[in-house]
Each structure stands twice: as structure tokens, then as C-alpha cells.
Chains A and B, each alone.
Chain A
Amino acid sequence: MSQRTALHAQHLEAGAKMVDFAGWDMPIHYGSQIEEHHQVRRDAGMFDVSHMVILDLEGSQAKDFLRKLLANDVARLRDPGKALYSCMLNPEGGVIDDLIVYYLSDTQYRIVVNAGTREKDIAWMQKQVQTFDASLTERSDLSMIAVQGPHAREKMAALLPDADAEAALGLGVFFGRQIGDLFIARTGYTGEDGFEVMVANEQAADLWNRLRDAGVQPTGLGARDTLRLEAGMNLYGSDMDESISPLEAGLNWTIAWEPADRDFIGRSALEQQRQRDDLRRFVGLVLEERGVLRGHQKVILPDGSEGEITSGSFSPTLGRAIAMARVPGSIEDRVEVEIRGKHLSARRVKMPFVRNGKSLID
């Protein structure tokens, strides 16, 4: 029996097609995945992401713990509310999960991890935190609604009392804080501006309904995936996992090598990998012919070497297929992708593919 979020009845009422996702009964779409995708790019959409895991970390050594646990460095966070994206690595340098951590104070952080990795993440963190004066609390009392799109922030703010609206609209990019009853963060997984809002479970349906009445389109996990892919954002389990180094998943930018004496878990493995010259590259591809790129399709380079697509789909914004792929070091601009036995030509492009509603592809 799948778990249900506090918004389950809202999904059914909106005509959602429900699917199992990481043990949760979640909406894949409410009629048309492509329309929902466009709605987020052009106006505003909302996602129930209550299946994700919110953890509060508190204690005098909370910061020291995170500096050990994460490949990115929370010491970079100086302004309260500032968020950081990071990988949590195993000692071999593989990715246990990717996460967002919000800096509330030197002794308080809020962490959001993926639903599909809940048990192993919590077990790993609990194991690592033992030697620190800090403790983790799962906030299953909170739901999370992501409100995304060029008009998302104003539509959300219009539902708040004046002072709260001002505070919400005053949030800088990648900042989050408690505003009234809500924790509001200017973060997301779509490549659009917007908020991720954490709300008490018992208030979630009311907030959802008010957003809906304000014209915010309920958007399913299907569109969430095409939006994040266009935005060049990795998906855990597809683009990286415990056997993949962040150096081979396009996540070099999330590793804080300095200061050199910060001994985070996985560091020595990454230091060794970094010396190698045979690391695979993580690249964006656009299919030059008709068809759809999908995870696990073979990518063939001009020299005959092979790589693999890690996630791919049809891009509703670009009207063509796009993908992320892991390929041997010397990638050319032109490659071929094997689809049902045929070789179709594809072009390497810089990611993201789309940002703030606009194509970044020629």
C-alpha cells in the first residue's frame, strides 16, 4: 500500500493520474503533461513534493558535522537562510544522495533529501552524526509545495498577509526562511523562479486550494522531470548513484576543494579520481533527427567509443529530444545515438537547455 501525502485528495479531485513513486501514490499528470510543462514555463504551476524528506539538524557541532558529511562546504554560508546544493558521498566518492541544506544559524540547519533514498540517507546521517554534538529530526509533520514559474512568486505572495508577502518577495535567490506559519524558500527544480513552501500537513490542502483558485496549475511529476531535464538539473538514481562520482556527473562545481584540510567523506577518493585522465564527461545532447532520447540508449562517438544516456526525453519547450549522457573523455560535438537499432545524429550542447522560459540552444 502506497503512502499518501496530505494533498492526496486534492490530486484525485483535480483528475490526476496517480502512479507509485518511491512508495508514494503521486500524480504523474492531471490531463496533459506537456500543457503542465508549458504552464510552468509561461505562468505558474505547483507540485506536491511532500514525499521528499525534510530533516532539521540542531546542535553546537551541526556545522562541523555537515562539513564532514557533505562534498560542498556549509562554511560558505554566511547569511542566515542561504541554501546550498551538495552531494553526500560514500568513502569511495560515489553519490549517496544530492540534497539542499538551508543555513539557519551555526547550530541549526534544514536539509531536504530525496524520497527514494529516505531510509539509506537517514541511516547514513545518523551513523555519521554520532560523534558530533548534533541531532537530526525528521519533519514528517510538514508538507512541501513547489510553486514555480515566472508568475509563481507574485501569485504565492498575494495569498499572504502584507508583511509576510513583503518578506517572501524579499527573499534572494536560493534563500529560505520561516515566514509566519510557512517556511518559504526561493529554490526549485524547474529552471524557473519560484518558491518551495513547507507547510504544516493540516494546512497543506488549504494552501493548495488557494493557490489553485489563484490560477496556479497543479503539475505532476511527469512535467517536473521534463522541466528539470531542460534546466540541466541532475536526477538522483538516473544521472548519478552510489557507483558514480560527482566528477562524472557534471557536479564538479558542487565540490568544495578549498580549504584543502577539510576532510569530507569521499575526499581522498575524489582527489585520486581527479588525477586520472580517463574520467567520463557528463554532457548535454540534442537529437538532430526525429525521435526521443531515453535513459540507457547507447551514444557512439566518431572514434567508435561508447557512452550512455543517463536521462533523456522530449523537450516540450524546444520541441525536440534532449538528454544528459556520460561519455568517454574526448567527446566531439557530433555523436550518434542508437535508437532501436538505428544510429541517429545528435549534437553536444552546453547545459542548461532552457532557462527562465528561454531556449539556450541555437
Chain B
Amino acid sequence: MNLFRSEEHARRWPAFQARSAEGFIALADLGGLFGTESRRHMLDADYLSSWYPRRAAERRAYLERIGKTSPFWLGTPDAVQ
């Protein structure tokens, strides 16, 4: 989960995985994905018990909103070929 100077730089990275060609995300979208409602409450006294548990659902909803619905992004098992 890294930042690169551009997609071309990432593709030249020696550790680049072929499947991760679908793993790019625009910086603005990344800020949104990691800025969902629960993230804004990390300093609240009840963050761990009340806000952190909401994060997975928020993340999934945000990913779906920006069209990243593959197992690669949603963390769901790959379809059996």
C-alpha cells in the first residue's frame, strides 16, 4: 500500500505484482477511502468500541461508490475458475 510518483513508476517497481494492475487508486479517492466517517473519530474516547467496528462496512461502501468492486479490492475470495 504505497504511494508512487505516477502509475508508470509503480509499474517499473521490481516488486510490482502483475495482478496489481488493478490496484491503482487516485490520490483523491485514497483520501476519501481513508477519510470515511469513522476515521474522523479516532480521537474520540469511544473510538475503539463504537467507531472502529464501522470501518469495514464504510470501506466497502466507499470502494463500491468509486467502482472498485473486484475481490482484489473488496478482500473477498476469488471466483472459482
Same assembly: no
